[in-house]
Structure 1
Amino acid sequence: MEREYSLEGVKLVVKEGDITAEEVDAIVNAANNHFWMGGGVAGAIKRRGGVEIEREAVSKGPVPVGEAVVTGAGRLKARYVIHAAVMGQDLATDGEKVRRAALSALKVARESGVKAIAFPALGCGVGGLPYGISVKEMLRALEEFIASGGELDEVRLVMYGEVAYREAAEAVEVYLSEKD
């Protein structure tokens, strides 16, 4: 399942799938601020891409929640993994932390020459944030990034499972309808 939209001239795709299989310049990891990669999206990235991704990320941390770092992507199809720290050791997050982490990930992407990027539902797994809040805050970050001169060709929101996909697509449609 997949739906395509446009936000400020950027192709925005919401799809159900496995983010580790995406063929984009970079995928975003929903990370803790120490960049340990245990469960959820982080665990899947480590299993498929290799432990060297975690080793490189950990060597760049810890960072304040809301920051992001870039590493190689190991065996993944993407060139980079951008680790967005949406939570600290307390594993708690909120919309503001997601927005800051997504914006940091986009800035790191720009510095790395990324034109196509895939995001998971930041803060929704371990962090327990509702999909609608996560998606709204990621879209706010994308608009802020574009307003500051950031350029991207494509942003994918890759949701794991049908429920996540449906809720994310609905959140995008509500967000875009409120802009009109």
Structure 2
Amino acid sequence: MNNYKGCNYCLHYRRDGTCVAFDPGFIPITIASGQTKHIQPLPNQGNTIVYEPAGKSIFSRLDEYWMNNKLMRERIEVIEGDITQQQVDAIVNAANESLMAGGGVCGAIHRAAGLGLEEECLQLKVCTEGDAKITKGYNLPAKWVIHTVGPVWEGGRYEEHKVLAQCYRNCFALVEQYKIKTVAFPSISTGAYGFPVEKAAKIAVAETRRFLERNTSVEKIMFVCYEKQT
């Protein structure tokens, strides 16, 4: 149990830590069993997984679960399209460490935003893997551009999944700081950086659900995929 990788959202148990909270018809094991599983250990518990009896009936727990999942779906959207054209408060740039124009999403955002974006990025100097920085949107429909540097996939040997999760967390920290209501993400690290799309998608959805559960002021988080496969 020390290697437990349960889901913070539907509280199920899966050895690989994946989340199926969006699967139609899925009911978390904690609802059926009437127990609450504490994913993060309680004080002084070390790595022990602690169980507590559920305080509500199975019917009220089911109603609450499906309602929360419905609301979550309404605040998350996945589309195929061009991120530079999205009418949102902020878009996220899958940047490189120099924050200069590159290929893929990064190059497209810089071209659409204009030279003002490049000049501001020069002032920011660099951005390390997993970090995030914010600039104005300039010629983009979005007011802000949040730049984050995803990990280069090296077979998972260097905990790339943790770095990618940190990208999302740092982006969401800026979303809160700047009181952004709507934000569009690209598929971070899955292009030239080679991060497997399925693994990246699970991380993206997991971090987004965690953020939206504690932040009720954000109205919409979009994932804008450049092609249908992604």
Q: TM-score range by the shorter chain?
A: 0.7 to 0.9
Instruction: Tell me how many residue pairs correspond in the alignment.
Output: 157
- Root mean square deviation of aligned Cα: 2.1
Equivalent in 117, 120, 130 of residue 183 of structure 2: 117
The aligned residue for residue 127 of structure 1 is 193
Would you say 1:145 and 2:208 are equivalent positions?
no
Identity %: 29
Deviation for aligned residue 1:64 = 2.8
- Cα pair distance change 1:53/1:96, threshold 3 Å: same
Q: CA deviation at 1:147?
A: 4.7
**Higher RCO (CA-CA < 8 Å; seq separation 6+):** 1
Q: Output the CA distance in 2 between the equivalents of 1:36 and 1:103.
A: 22
- Residues 1:53 and 2:53 aligned together: no
Match of 1:136 in 2: 202
Structure 2 equivalent of residue 35 of structure 1: 99
**TM-score between both structures, scaled by the size of structure 1:** 0.78
Match of 2:108 among 44, 53, 76: 44
Distance 1:79 1:117 in 2: 10
- Superposed CA offset, 1:128-151 (max 9, x none): 112211221112222332355464
**Alignment CA distance shift 1:99-1:49 (3 Å):** same
TM-score by length of 2: 0.62
Q: 1:70, CA displacement in angstroms? A: 0.7
Task: Please list every run of 5 or more consecutive structure 2 residues that lacks an aligned counterpart in the other structure.
Answer: 1-68, 155-159
Q: Which has the higher strand share?
A: 1
Structure ID, larger Rg:
2
Are the structure 2 counterparts of residues 92 and 133 from structure 1 closer, same or farther at C-alpha, using a change threshold of 3 Å?
Answer: closer
Q: Closer, same or farther in 2 for the Cα pair 1:61/1:144, shift >3 Å?
A: farther
Tell me, which stretches of 5 or more residues in structure 1 are unaligned?
165-180
More helix by share: 1
The residue aligned with 2:29 is none
Work out which of the residue numbers 167, 177, 185 in structure 2 matches 1:101.
167
Sort the Cα spacing of 1:39 and 1:103 in 2 relative to 1 into closer, same or farther, 3 A: same
Q: Secondary structure at the match of 2:75?
A: strand
CA contact (8 A) 2:84 2:108 kept: yes
